[in-house]
Amino acid sequence: MKAIIGLTTFLGGKSRSFFSSVNDSYIYSVSAGGGVPVNIPISHNEEDYDSYIEILDGILFTGGDDIVPIYYGENPLKEVDSICSVRDEHEFKLFKKAYERKMPMLGICRGAQLLNVALGGNLYQDINQQIPDSLGHYPTESADDELYHSVKIKKESKLGNIFGEEKMYVNSFHHQSVKKLGTNLIITALSEDGIIEGIESIEDRFLIGVQWHPECLTKRYPKFLKLFNGFIHAAIEYKQNRF
């Protein structure tokens, strides 16, 4: 039995030719982890969300644009220059439906931030401006599969159980991060400068967010597939208990 994993998409393109798309690394990693990846187009029909939830066994909230700060009650800093409220609205509604059913969810980079905001948390809009003495988190000329900085992982956590390590090196492509935690979330990973790099639910459910991009590392560093294996295992259990 395989789990059907929905991948959220971003709106791209120019002029009238917009498209819903996702990086192939997500598709590869979900497939290599034992799941069946299905892209979720950004829908303008709210009735579609229940249909998505009926089809899927888990949702991977992917990376991309900054979340509009209005959603956590703030005006934007000048460093927030790439937003898409249409995507935000779509994903918040999708999250709500999945959360109500305790469907397994994994958030990566923007996706981790979305999980946090959806549960009432907020974000640092720009790490360099708002966190004194922060280290590098967004190398502009590095390949996606380059390890960049270390993270410390909480041993007694789902993330710790998945990787079996208390310190790892990861890639990094973000200028924002979790600030105040959302409801029923805990911190499970921190960078050396104290940036939140991992969060998860304290409840009996698979809801994990990581700030790095493990999907870009699975080919070169297969140990990062463990996160996808764990996610998809939870999705299979969800599928079995649902029917």
pLDDT digits (tens, 9 = 90+) for 85-116: 999 999 999 999 999 999 999 999 999 999 99
Which of 90, 109, 137, 149 does the annotation list as catalytic?
A: 109
The pLDDT of 124-133, averaged and rounded, is 93
Q: Which residue has the tokens 């996808």?
A: 228
Torsion sign (Cα): 135, 196, 31, 50: negative
The pLDDT of 3-8, averaged and rounded, is 98
The pLDDT of 163-181, averaged and rounded, is 97
Integer-rounded Cα radius of gyration of the chain: 17
pLDDT number for residue 89: 95
Q: In whole angstroms, what is the distance from residue 110 CA to residue 116 CA? A: 10
Question: CB–CB of 13/65 below 8 Å?
Answer: no
Q: Percentage of the chain surpassing pLDDT 90?
A: 87
- Report which of 227, 185, 181 is spatially closest to residue 202, judged by C-alpha positions: 185
pLDDT number for residue 48: 86
Q: What is the pLDDT of residues 131-153, one digit of tens each?
A: 998 998 989 889 999 999 999 99
Query: Does residue 84 carry a catalytic annotation?
Result: no
Q: Which residue has the tokens 């009996």?
A: 204
Which of 90, 137, 174, 213 does the annotation list as catalytic?
A: 213
Q: How many domains does the chain fold into? A: 1
CATH number for the domain spanning 150: value is 3.40.50.880
Backbone angles phi, psi at 93, to 5 degrees: -70, -40
Q: In whole angstroms, what is the distance from residue 62 CA to residue 78 CA? A: 24
Give whole-number Cα distances, 94 to 20, 33, 40, 97, 133, in Å. Answer: 16, 23, 10, 5, 36
Which of 84, 200, 215, 216 does the annotation list as catalytic?
A: 215
Provide the domain limits for residue 210: 3-242
Query: Does residue 44 carry a catalytic annotation?
Result: no
Q: How confident is the model at residue 19 (pLDDT cuts 50, 70, 90)?
A: confident
Q: What is the pLDDT of residues 201-232, one digit of tens each?
A: 999 999 999 999 999 999 999 999 999 999 99
Q: What is the pLDDT of residues 30-45, one digit of tens each?
A: 999 999 999 999 887 8
The pLDDT of 15-23, averaged and rounded, is 75
Query: Does residue 137 carry a catalytic annotation?
Result: no
Q: In whole angstroms, what is the distance from residue 59 CA to residue 5 CA? A: 6
Q: What is the pLDDT of residues 175-201, one digit of tens each?
A: 999 999 999 999 999 999 999 999 999
Q: How confident is the model at residue 17 (pLDDT cuts 50, 70, 90)?
A: low
